[in-house]
Amino acid sequence: MAQYLILIYEDEASYASAPPQVFQEVMDAHNRFAEQVGELGGTLVGGNALQDTNTATSIRDDVVTDGPFVETKEVLGGYYLIDAKDLDHALEISKLCPARFGGVEVRPVMTFE
């Protein structure tokens, strides 16, 4: 098994303008996703949601600024770390990851000998 990081990128403004039941639907979908990882033979190693980008602080060289460095519509909102057999298996699992207002990026975790 290898480790893969599923990065969840979504539009924060869509959540801010959505009715409260949307947040509950998304949370239910994430809970179901955690179950589906195991059903597909993978292992959910960890994951977290991130606070809004207005809480971010960026550092470039020795310059510290409030907020994200690059302004984009979709921002990193959370992640899952999974164990999967290979990239194809990780992609099969990742297609089920909820990202109602965006998408996900899948990256293998680098291992060092």
Ordered per-residue pLDDT tens for the chain, 113 residues: 999 999 999 999 898 899 999 999 999 999 999 999 999 999 999 999 999 888 888 888 888 877 665 667 888 999 999 999 999 999 999 999 999 999 999 999 999 98
Alpha carbon distance 95, 99 (integer Å): 10
- Report strand pairing: 74-84 vs 43-49: antiparallel
For residue 82 the two structure tokens come to: 């999974």
Q: How many domains does the chain have?
A: 1
Whether the pTM exceeds 0.75: the reply is yes
SS3 112: coil
Q: What is the pLDDT of residue 70?
A: 61
Residue 78, Cβ neighbours under 10 Å: how many?
19
Residue 15 lies in a domain: yes
**Has residue 113 been placed in a domain?**
no
Supply the pLDDT for residue 69: 59
Domain span at residue 90? 11-108
Question: Closest by alpha carbon to 79, among 3, 17, 2?
Answer: 3
CATH of the domain at 24: 3.30.70.1060
At position 91, the amino acid (one-letter code) is L
Q: Please tell me the predicted confidence (pLDDT) of residue 61.
A: 84
In a domain, 3, yes or no: no
Q: What is the pLDDT of residue 30?
A: 96
At residue 58, the pLDDT reads: 84
Q: Residue 88: what are its φ and ψ, rounded to 5°?
A: -60, -40
Q: What is the pLDDT of residue 60?
A: 82
Q: Does some domain include residue 4?
A: no
Is 2 within the bounds of a domain? no
Is 24 a member of any domain? yes
